[in-house]
Amino acid sequence: MSDVQKNCPLTSVEAIDTIEEVAGLYPAYRRAHAKGIGFDATFSPNGCAAPYTTAIHLLQQKTSAIVRFSHSTPNPNPIEQLVPVKGMAVQFQLPEGKVTNLTMATIPVFITKTPEDFIQLLQAVKGDKLSFTEKLSTLKNNPNFHAAAKILKNSIPPKSFATGHYYSIHAYYLSNENKQRQAVKFEWEPVDNGKDTSRFTSLSNNGNPMEDELVNRLKNGPIRFNLMIQLAQPGDSINDCTQEWPDNREKLCIGTLSILERRPDNAELHVFDPTVVPDGLQCSDDPVLRFRGAAYAESAKRRHHFVDLMDE
């Protein structure tokens, strides 16, 4: 067992069981962000990360990448307009067959401080007996759920994956040749990707309006995002993923991602575990981040097992 999985009383099996109980069981799909679309891409670092890290993909060499945009719900057939949080997962292809991942969302913070609180939140609002207003009231009345209430109240889903702003939610540490560490949060910032051009004609789960819009955009050339790092200062909360850092914290652009073409497999077999990091990049002690590796592995095991059974 890695240090990422230690010191957490909630097990990944219990967590995934609860998600399936609350959201429904869709065996062939991810237990969150079930519906998505995959692309091949390249990441071109600009050298600005060199003072902070030895991570090879953030230095001076172009790196191939796999990108998956998604809707946060476990339902593989959602009404896309009603899913406020969208995801952007990027897997960088490193030498010797290794990978590292940045898994981001269109919200700057997570909905709970611990994985245990997340499971309790799901259990508190499950089912159809409570109206949206009642569910929001339930969240507001529990201090552990205040971040979730704020997100539900204020989040507006982007009309295009290409114009969304994506946040790592969790903090990481960059480390340089002198073993000096700098806490950072990552962001994907769209670069000249134009206006939202999705066409939502009605509230319906028919079709793939946001996915189709991305494919159409690519006909005019690559879709680009700048990779930004926000630098922490003393006193900033490193291990609480419900806390934003002040807006005046310095941000640096450290490279550009160019999305080139759609993947026929939609990256469905890839696991975008955000705790898989190379030398020069370390996970913080954020308990939600530390738990995600085990949860991703359990989700992947279940859906891959189902796919294997279907192929027999």
The DSSP string of 5-70 is GSS-SS-HHHHHHHHHHHH---TTS-SSS-SEEEEEEEEEE-STTTTT---GGGSSS-EEEEEEEE
- Cα–Cα distance, 188 to 227 (Å, whole number): 5
Neighbours of 96 (CB within 10 A): 4
pLDDT higher at 21 or 197? 21
The pLDDT tens digits of the residues spanning 211-246 come to 999 999 999 999 999 999 999 999 999 999 999 999
Write down the domain spans for the chain.
3-116+158-196+205-311
Residue 68 has pLDDT above 70, yes or no: yes
pLDDT higher at 297 or 149? 297
The pLDDT tens digits of the residues spanning 22-64 come to 888 888 899 899 999 999 999 999 999 999 999 999 997 899 9
- Cα–Cα distance, 3 to 6 (Å, whole number): 5
Residue 1 has pLDDT above 50, yes or no: no
The CATH class for the domain spanning 3-116+158-196+205-311 reads mainly beta
Element (H, E) at 214: helix 209-218
pLDDT, position 130 = 61
DSSP, collapsed to helix, strand or coil, labels residue 233 as: coil
The pLDDT tens digits of the residues spanning 139-182 come to 777 777 777 777 766 677 888 999 999 999 999 999 999 999 99
Residue 6 confidence class, pLDDT cut points 50, 70, 90: very low
The pLDDT tens digits of the residues spanning 77-133 come to 998 888 889 999 999 999 999 999 999 999 999 989 999 998 888 887 776 666 667
pLDDT, position 193 = 61
Q: Which long-range contacts (CB under 8 A, 24 or more apart) does 21-26 make?
A: 21/126, 22/122, 22/123, 22/126, 23/73, 23/74, 23/75, 23/122, 24/74, 24/75, 26/74, 26/75, 26/76
pTM of the model: 0.88
Q: Is 69 exposed, middle or buried (0-12, 13-18, 19+ CB in 10 A)?
A: buried
Contact 186, 104 (CB under 8 A): yes
Residue 287 confidence class, pLDDT cut points 50, 70, 90: very high
- DSSP letter, residue 85: -
